[in-house]
Each structure stands twice: as structure tokens, then as C-alpha cells.
């Protein structure tokens, strides 16, 4: 199945096929659920390119997420140079960049999002806390959204008006996802001295992020409500993408709703434990969308006979 996906993606050179296979193993290892969703719900010709984009994003994050601020900034500068060199020469000593360059050849829009993402990584390296909603929005626009668009641009519609709607929906989706991330990761972020919940909201509620309490519970409800508002506005995404991408898009949004429900259930206990959707519920969602995709494939095949 994977060899067929590489064939359909236009990856025929032996070295590149090994590179993509190596990136696939890495992506499957660190984002198992996301990889399964892409493998089951997206056309096979697109999956290797999604793998390449996700692998690049993860590799970048791993390189700039360790050490002091100066060490992380130096790592970003070095990595930025390697990425730009790979695009300029059409080759690299690193398999992850060889895959990225090939995927950008097949999907030219990706190159601009790579540059936006690398620029936004400066925000990721620099931030220590989120002051208020305005700063959260700048973080999402500057870093989180370009990170999402590395893969989302591979699904974007060709029509210009539809692309505007698509990008706006991705923005709302990413803002919701980022807010949920900050709530789910609260204990880890507090220990690291980098809480993502806006400090203005924390102060307004008088919440202690390090221990459960009524004030923290109210803060979680407020942040969850804001995320829910953004998720409610993402329905347009399914309507503007190609029908073959719709099961994946529904699953992606559906998983965020499950994550949000888990955050609400956890409430103030998020101070001491992480949260996430029940695995069986998430699996059921994936199975429903897999069935929907199968029906679509069968219907299209019958029409071409």
C-alpha cells in the first residue's frame, strides 16, 4: 500500500522513496493517531506529501525546542540556512529536506508557507508567556497558523474565493486548537515557566495555574467557550475542499471537539493532569469517516464504468 502511495505521489527515485519511507516511520511514531487519519482518509497520492510536511514541521520544532534562548535562536538560524540552501540547490544531505523539496515541486504553494513558518519560529523561540488575547492572536497568526498551513495548503481549493474561505476557516481552527493545546498542556507548561493561557485572563479570574480551585475552573470554562466559538465557525472548511478531502476534514474538526469536551470534563484538575479524548471515542469517529470515504470511492468508481 505504501509503495503504491509513493507511485501515485510521483516519487519514483530509489533514494527519495527511502527518504519518504524514513519520514513516514518518524511521523507514525510521534503522531500515531494523525498518521492513521491521513492514511485512512486522504487519497493515497497525497499521503507521502502530507508525511513530508509533517516531518519537516516536527523536525523544526525539535531543533528549536531545546536549550537556552540563545541556543534555540542559534539552532533556528542554522536550520533556516539549511532549508533555504536545500530549496536553492534542489537537494540536501538531510532526507527530511529532500522530501520537503520534492513535495514543494509537486505542490508549489508549500514553499511560501515554509518561509512563513520559519519566520514565525522566531516567535516560538522568543515567547515566555502570553500577555493577553492580542498577543495570543499574534502568536497564532505568526507561528501556529503557518505551521498548520504546511499541511493544510495541500488540501486547499484551487478557486481563489474558496481559498479565502478555506484560509479563514484554518485560522479559526488553529486558534481553537492552540487554545486547547495550552489547556491540555497546562501542568507541563507551568513547570517550564511558559504557560500559554493569557496572563490577563488568569489575573482577572485570580486563578492559580499550579493547583485546582474554583477560580481555575472558571478560567477553563471561559477559555473552552472561546475555543468552542472558533470551532463552531469551521464548518465552512468541509464545504470548500474537494469531496475526497471532506472525510479527513470532518475527522480533524471532530477530534478537536472531542479534545475540547475532555478539557471541559477535566476543569480545574488540568492544573495537575493532562487531558485528552477517550481513545475508543476517537477511534469510532475515525471509523465513521473511513466508512464515509469508502462509500465515496465506491460511488465515484461506479460512475466511471
Mean pLDDT of the chain: 94
Closest Cα to residue 226, out of 193, 273, 180, 287? 180
pLDDT-derived band at 305, boundaries 50, 70, 90:
low
Q: Can you give the pLDDT at residue 66?
A: 84
Least-confidence region, from 9-23, 24-38, 131-145: 24-38
pLDDT tens by residue, 220-273: 999 999 999 999 999 889 999 999 999 999 999 999 999 999 999 999 999 999
pLDDT tens by residue, 39-88: 999 999 999 999 999 999 999 999 998 888 899 999 999 999 999 999 99
Q: Can you give the pLDDT at residue 128?
A: 84
Q: Can you give the pLDDT at residue 34?
A: 84
Please state the pTM of the whole predicted model: 0.92
The answer, yes or no, to whether residue 301 has pLDDT greater than 90, is: no
The answer, yes or no, to whether residue 30 has pLDDT greater than 90, is: no
Mean pLDDT for the stretch of residues 163-176: 97
pLDDT-derived band at 165, boundaries 50, 70, 90:
very high
> Most distant CA pair in the chain: distance in Å?
66
pLDDT-derived band at 192, boundaries 50, 70, 90:
confident
For the domain spanning 154-300, the CATH number is 1.10.600.10
Q: Can you give the pLDDT at residue 42?
A: 96
Least-confidence region, from 147-151, 160-164, 278-282: 278-282
pLDDT-derived band at 213, boundaries 50, 70, 90:
very high
In the chain, which segments carry CATH 1.10.600.10?
A: 154-300
Amino acid at each position: 500500500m505504501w509503495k503504491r502511495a509513493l507511485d501515485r505521489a510521483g516519487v519514483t527515485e530509489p533514494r527519495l522513496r527511502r527518504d519518504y519511507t524514513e519520514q513516514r516511520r518518524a511521523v507514525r511514531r510521534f503522531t500515531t493517531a494523525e498518521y492513521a487519519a491521513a492514511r485512512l482518509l486522504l487519497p493515497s497520492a497525497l499521503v507521502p506529501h502530507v508525511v513530508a510536511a509533517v516531518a519537516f514541521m516536527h523536525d523544526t520544532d525539535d531543533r528549536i525546542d531545546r536549550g537556552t534562548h540563545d541556543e534555540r535562536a542559534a539552532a533556528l538560524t542554522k536550520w533556516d540556512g539549511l532549508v533555504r540552501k536545500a530549496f536553492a540547490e534542489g537537494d540536501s544531505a538531510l532526507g527530511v529536506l529532500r522530501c520537503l523539496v520534492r513535495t514543494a515541486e509537486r505542490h508549489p504553494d508549500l514553499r511560501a508557507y515554509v518561509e512563513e513558518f520559519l519566520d514565525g519560529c522566531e516567535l516560538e523561540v522568543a515567547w515566555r508567556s502570553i500577555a493577553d488575547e492580542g498577543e495570543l492572536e499574534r502568536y497564532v497568526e505568526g507561528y501556529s497558523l503557518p505551521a498548520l498551513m504546511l499541511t493544510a495548503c495541500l488540501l486547499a481549493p484551487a478557486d481563489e474565493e474558496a481559498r479565502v474561505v478555506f484560509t479563514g476557516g484554518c485560522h479559526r481552527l488553529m486558534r481553537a486548537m492552540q487554545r486547547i493545546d495550552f489547556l491540555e498542556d497546562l501542568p507541563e507548561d507551568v513547570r517550564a515557566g511558559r504557560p500559554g493561557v493569557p496572563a490577563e485572563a488568569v489575573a482577572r479570574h485570580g486563578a492559580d495555574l499550579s493547583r485546582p480551585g474554583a477560580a481555575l475552573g472558571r478560567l477553563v470554562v471561559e477559555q473552552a467557550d472561546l475555543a468552542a466559538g472558533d470551532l463552531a465557525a469551521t464548518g465552512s472548511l468541509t464545504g470548500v475542499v474537494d469531496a475526497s478531502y471532506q472525510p479527513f476534514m470532518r475527522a480533524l474538526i471532530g477530534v478537536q471537539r472531542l479534545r475540547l469536551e475532555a478539557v471541559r470534563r477535566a476543569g480545574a484538575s488540568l492544573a495537575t493532569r493532562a487531558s485528552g479524548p477517550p481513545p475508543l471515542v476517537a477511534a469510532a469517529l475515525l471509523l465513521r469517516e473511513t466508512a464515509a470515504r469508502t462509500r465515496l470511492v465506491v460511488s465515484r468508481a461506479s460512475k466511471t464504468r
